[in-house]
Amino acid sequence: MSATTKLTVETTVTFSEVSTLLWREREALELLLFKLVSERLIVSAGETRWLAPANREVEAVVEQLRGVEVLRAAEVEMLAADLGKDIGISLTELAELADEPWRSILFEHRDAMLKLVLQIEQTADENRRLLTAGARSIRETLLSVTDSVDTYDSRGVTTTSSSLRPVIMDEQA
C-alpha cells in the first residue's frame, strides 16, 4: 500500500468520525431547541414553578453540546493536519477540501446546523422577552400592593405614583 493510498484510507475514516460527531452535535442542538421551546411554553402558561427545572435542563443540554463541540473540534483539527491544512479550519473549508460523498455530507451538516442555531437564537430571544415582561409585570403588581408604582411620563422619565387605591387580588391559583 502506498503512502498516498494509506492517507486516503485514514482520511476517509476521519471524515466518517467527523460526520458522526456532527450528527451528535446536531442532535444536541435539536434537544436544546426542544428544551427552549418547552421553557417558553412553561412561561407562556404561567407555570413558573417549573421554570427552575426547565432552566436546569437547558443548562445540562448546553453542557452536553459543549462536550460534543470539543470532540468535533479535535477531530477536525486532526483531519486538517492530515490534509496539510492549518488548525482552526471551518466546516465549510473542510467540506470544500473533501471528495464526494463527504463534501455533500459535510455541507448538509453545516446547513442543518446553521438553521438550528438560528432557531435556537430566535427561541432564546423570545424566552428572554417573555421572562422580562413577566418580571416587569410581577414587579409592578408587587409595587402596586405596597403603595407606589414606577411609570413613565411622556418624555420617558420614570415617575413614582403613590396614590392609595383599592387592590383586587385573585388568590385562586
Domain ranges of the chain: 3-161
How far is residue 162's CA from residue 159's CA, in Å, rounded to a whole number?
Answer: 10
Q: Which pLDDT score, from 0 to 100, does residue 5 have?
A: 40
Is the domain spanning 3-161 CATH 1.10.10? The answer is: no
Q: Which pLDDT score, from 0 to 100, does residue 168 have?
A: 57
List per-residue pLDDT tens for the chain, 173 residues long: 444 444 444 444 488 899 999 999 999 999 999 999 999 999 888 888 898 899 999 999 999 999 999 999 988 888 888 888 887 888 899 898 888 999 999 999 999 999 999 999 999 999 988 888 766 666 666 565 665 556 667 777 766 655 545 555 556 55
Q: Which pLDDT score, from 0 to 100, does residue 7 have?
A: 43
- Number of neighbours of residue 114 by Cβ within 10 angstroms: 11
Q: Which pLDDT score, from 0 to 100, does residue 2 have?
A: 42
Neighbour-count burial of 112, counting CB atoms closer than 10 A to its CB (0-12 exposed, 13-18 middle, 19+ buried) = middle
Q: Which pLDDT score, from 0 to 100, does residue 6 have?
A: 40
| Cut 0.75: pTM above it | no
Outline where the chain has alpha helix (H).
3-44, 51-82, 91-97, 102-145
Q: Which three cell numbers mark 73?
A: 473540534
Q: Which pLDDT score, from 0 to 100, does residue 67 have?
A: 95
Q: Which pLDDT score, from 0 to 100, does residue 122 have?
A: 95
